[in-house]
Chain A
Amino acid sequence: MSTIVEKISAYSKPGYYEKFDYHWTMTIDLDRCTGCEACMVACQAENNIPIVGEERFAQSREIKWIRIERYWEGEYPNIKMGFIPMLCQQCDDAPCETACPVYATYHNQDGLNTQIYNRCIGTRTCAVYCPYEVRYFNWFTYTWDEPLEQQLNPDVSIREKGVMEKCTFCIQRIRTAKDNAKDDGRRRVRDGEVTPACVQSCPTEALVFGNSNDPEAKVTKMMNNPRGYTVLEELNTTPSIVYLTKVHS
């Protein structure tokens, strides 16, 4: 990638002109998921997600970076319910990233769709473009009543009103793990060293997280499971989350 000509020709092609350093991927085994929503609680605790209150929840303004979507089929007493945890899919061909006029969201070298809170001017175009509806807007500046503010995670910034937020794969934990690995003799982050809050708290280990650039990682093996699929595949967003479909009897 040295000469100008090589650079220009690389930049003119769609795609990423350099391979991702780490490619953080998650698999969600829908057969193991019980819909207990422990991941939602953990995410809220880890990422300083505001409690919006009953009134605003009724207005559909709650913020839940990971949510359990529930679908019912059939009539009582033959109801079947399916649920699927939905969080930011960290799409490699994200429709939201191209929409932001100020580069407040872009794809970083680890394959993450990052959201830069202090650059966001709140046009909310990314939320419209996202087919998974996983982007949440701060309609107000939310506050934490005493003593809840003592529970806030110091590694994660508080967002003010007018800023868009979404699941970051706990980028603060990834950052800490990379820093530790560097201090520990400039090695790479090992599989299992970084787990986002949701993965850590899932009681059935339905969520598996890791670096899919590492052929030995657990997540790489789970990804290649024949039960694997990506949500809204036909939209060509190439998400980084692979769902393992439920086994039906």
Chain B
Amino acid sequence: MFDHGQPSYAEVNKDIISTMLETGPKYWMLLGGTMSVAGIFFFMPWIYQLFVGVGAAGMNHNAVWGSYLSNFIFWIGLSHSGTLLSAVLHITNSPWRKAVYRSAEAMTLFSLMTAALFVMVHVGRVWFVHWSFPIPNQMGLWPNFRSPLMFDVMAITTYLTASSIFIYMGSVPDFAAVRDASTGLRRRLYTIFSFGWRGTAREWHTLGWAYTFFAVFVIPLAVSVHSIVSWDFALSAVPGFHHTIFAPYFVCGAIYSGTAGIVTVMYCLRKFLGFSRYIGQVHLDSLGKLLIALSMIWTYINIVELFTTWYGGTSYELEALSFRLTGFYAPMYWEMILFCAFVPLLMLSKKIRWSWNKMLVVSILINIGMLTERFIIVATSQPRKFLPDSFGFYVPSWIEISITFGSFAIFATLFLIFIKWVPAISLYEVKETLKPLRRDA
């Protein structure tokens, strides 16, 4: 678990809390950089679009859904990382999860927030988007709960709430540790955040039970959220969308892209916060093996989709399939297959799996492939629906590319703010992996 020898309990506190209390100029420059990029590349084009209309993006009559929706799905997918690592591996009592799960949960929360932003960029009249919530109003109107988008609204609201509570409650003992190590305003803030936690047996007992229940609730929630998002597509009659495999396909793709995202974030944590003592080869190796398994499932599902579409032979489906494989977007499709099905096989070699730099490259390639995959699904199925006269073509405009780029900056900004407010590694869980404080140990 620890590459450079086990730290003592006091060293754990010092190492992790010092990343929060001590802030150098490099941090402020990085934060300022990501905020400027987010402002210039995301918010300014979005404000322009609010004035001009959604037509500023590249969507047209043949493909009314474009990169905004595919980015939304990508970010929801990325959010499944934390849930898998934190909740699933908690239930299975996995020891290597303990150092990395807090940051993974933070990734979940911030991916969800970014995804919610994309919904707002995507709709035509965002100033009325609150009509999709079941809020009593003077018109006496309620949203249409039969709509797949309403399933989305309920699922994402629940997922946001549950994830925030999950990460907050898991951090309460760590907030107490930060409170003890700080003074002044910070001490008062963290006293409030930690609810006056002392670490009594009753508090630990209750927290343990509550946390396990949160995990048990959040796991089926995560599976349902991405299934529901996939049903935005699968519940239509459109040839490239209307497949029953969409729900497992999207859930698997989400966990896959999320786990790759965790590798990227772990690399950054090690490099910028100096956590190389706590996040070591064991974590990288385990994540690598997980990625190989997920990549194989993803490849299998793709093969199944291709095979059943081709064998079934419906003219509409074959047209959509041939457009996807050989049409305008064929290079992107094959790039996606390369990055998501073949590149991860490199991780079968221990040399790749144990090298941080190589794994960083692999994880970024996987996520580029997954981003492309969402885009391919959206952009190649709509222009080939049923009536050939309406076949068309969709190319993203500069605003969409800029907003896609800016969304990564928003995520980075949120994460940078997170590492200064919440310990990025869970203190008490790491201590549980250390040698116990016993005379006979």
Q: Name A residues whose Cβ lies closer than 8 Å to a Cβ of B.
A: 56, 59-62, 67, 69-71, 86, 95, 98-103, 119-125, 127-129, 131-133, 136-141, 160-164, 231-232, 235
**Is B198's CB within 8 Å of the partner chain A?**
no
Task: Give complex CA distance A62, B123 in Å.
Answer: 19
Our pick among B62, B128, B141 for the contact of A103 (Cβ within 8 Å) is B141
Q: Which of B361-389 contact A (CB under 8 A)?
A: 382, 385-389
Given A124-B65, A128-B65, do A99 and B236 touch, yes or no (CB 8 Å)? yes
Task: Give complex CA distance A141, B150 in Å.
Answer: 27
Q: Which B residue sits closest to A99, measured CB to CB?
A: B147
Interface size class of B (residues with CB under 8 A): 35 or more
Least distance between B129 CB and chain A CB atoms (Å) = 6
Least distance between B62 CB and chain A CB atoms (Å) = 6
- Please give, as numbers and ranges, the residues of chain B lying within 8 Å of A59 by CB-CB distance: 60
Our pick among A128, A133, A161 for the contact of B390 (Cβ within 8 Å) is A133
- Please give, as numbers and ranges, the residues of chain A lying within 8 Å of B141 by CB-CB distance: 102-103, 119
- Please give, as numbers and ranges, the residues of chain A lying within 8 Å of B385 by CB-CB distance: 131, 133
**Is B199's CB within 8 Å of the partner chain A?**
no
Given A128-B236, A133-B62, do A139 and B55 touch, yes or no (CB 8 Å)? yes
Chain A to chain B: the 8 pairs with minimum beta-carbon distance, closest first: A122-B124, A162-B124, A139-B55, A161-B53, A69-B389, A162-B125, A101-B149, A60-B60
- Please give, as numbers and ranges, the residues of chain B lying within 8 Å of A67 by CB-CB distance: 389
Q: Which A residue sits closest to B390, measured CB to CB?
A: A133
**Is B251's CB within 8 Å of the partner chain A?**
no
- Please give, as numbers and ranges, the residues of chain B lying within 8 Å of A127 by CB-CB distance: 64
- Please give, as numbers and ranges, the residues of chain A lying within 8 Å of B387 by CB-CB distance: 69, 86, 131-133, 231-232
0 or 1 for each of B129-152: is its CB under 8 Å from A? (1 = yes): 101100000000111101111100
Task: Give complex CA distance A139, B126 in Å.
Answer: 14
Our pick among A61, A70, A125 for the contact of B147 (Cβ within 8 Å) is A125
Cβ B125 vs Cβ A122 within 8 A: yes
Given A102-B131, A103-B141, A163-B124, do A128 and B238 touch, yes or no (CB 8 Å)? yes
Cβ A140 vs Cβ B150 within 8 A: no
Task: Give complex CA distance A141, B53 in Å.
Answer: 7
Q: Which B residue sits closest to A83, measured CB to CB?
A: B389
Cβ B124 vs Cβ A161 within 8 A: yes
- Please give, as numbers and ranges, the residues of chain B lying within 8 Å of A136 by CB-CB distance: 61
Task: Give complex CA distance A129, B148 in Å.
Answer: 11
Q: Which B residue sits closest to A235, measured CB to CB?
A: B237
Cβ B144 vs Cβ A120 within 8 A: no
Task: Give complex CA distance A163, B128 in Å.
Answer: 11
Cβ A61 vs Cβ B55 within 8 A: yes
- Please give, as numbers and ranges, the residues of chain B lying within 8 Å of A138 by CB-CB distance: 53, 124
- Please give, as numbers and ranges, the residues of chain A lying within 8 Å of B52 by CB-CB distance: 140, 161
**Is B273's CB within 8 Å of the partner chain A?**
no
**Is B220's CB within 8 Å of the partner chain A?**
no
Task: Give complex CA distance A61, B62 in Å.
Answer: 9
Cβ A137 vs Cβ B64 within 8 A: yes
Least distance between B141 CB and chain A CB atoms (Å) = 7
Q: Which B residue sits closest to A237, measured CB to CB?
A: B237
**Is B392's CB within 8 Å of the partner chain A?**
yes
0 or 1 for each of B338-374: is its CB under 8 Å from A? (1 = yes): 0000000000000000000000000000000000000
0 or 1 for each of B199-224: is its CB under 8 Å from A? (1 = yes): 00000000000000000000000000
Least distance between B400 CB and chain A CB atoms (Å) = 13
Least distance between A209 CB and chain B CB atoms (Å) = 22
**Is B393's CB within 8 Å of the partner chain A?**
yes
Q: Which of B128-182 contact A (CB under 8 A)?
A: 128-129, 131-132, 141-144, 146-150, 153
Cβ B125 vs Cβ A163 within 8 A: yes
Q: Which A residue sits closest to B395, measured CB to CB?
A: A59
- Please give, as numbers and ranges, the residues of chain A lying within 8 Å of B65 by CB-CB distance: 124, 128
Task: Give complex CA distance A125, B119 in Å.
Answer: 12
Cβ A120 vs Cβ B124 within 8 A: yes
Least distance between B283 CB and chain A CB atoms (Å) = 40
Given A119-B131, A232-B386, do A128 and B144 touch, yes or no (CB 8 Å)? no
Given A59-B60, A101-B149, do A162 and B53 touch, yes or no (CB 8 Å)? yes
Cβ B144 vs Cβ A103 within 8 A: yes
Cβ A140 vs Cβ B382 within 8 A: no
Cβ B237 vs Cβ A162 within 8 A: no
Q: 22 A-B contacts, Cβ less than 8 Å apart?
A: A59-B60, A70-B389, A86-B387, A95-B236, A95-B237, A98-B235, A99-B149, A101-B149, A102-B132, A121-B123, A121-B132, A122-B124, A125-B148, A125-B232, A127-B64, A129-B235, A133-B387, A136-B61, A137-B54, A161-B52, A161-B125, A232-B386
Cβ A125 vs Cβ B149 within 8 A: yes
Task: Give complex CA distance A161, B124 in Å.
Answer: 7
Our pick among B128, B147, B389 for the contact of A100 (Cβ within 8 Å) is B147
**Is B226's CB within 8 Å of the partner chain A?**
no
Task: Give complex CA distance A163, B126 in Å.
Answer: 11
- Please give, as numbers and ranges, the residues of chain B lying within 8 Å of A121 by CB-CB distance: 123-126, 128-129, 131-132
**Is B324's CB within 8 Å of the partner chain A?**
no
Least distance between A61 CB and chain B CB atoms (Å) = 5
Task: Give complex CA distance A129, B389 in Å.
Answer: 17
**Is B431's CB within 8 Å of the partner chain A?**
no
Least distance between A163 CB and chain B CB atoms (Å) = 7
0 or 1 for each of B388-412: is its CB under 8 Å from A? (1 = yes): 1110110000000000000000000
User: Can you add 18 more A-B contacts, CB < 8 Å, to A61-B60, A102-B132?
Assistant: A70-B389, A95-B236, A98-B144, A98-B147, A99-B149, A102-B128, A102-B131, A102-B141, A103-B142, A121-B129, A131-B386, A131-B387, A132-B386, A133-B386, A140-B52, A163-B124, A163-B125, A164-B124
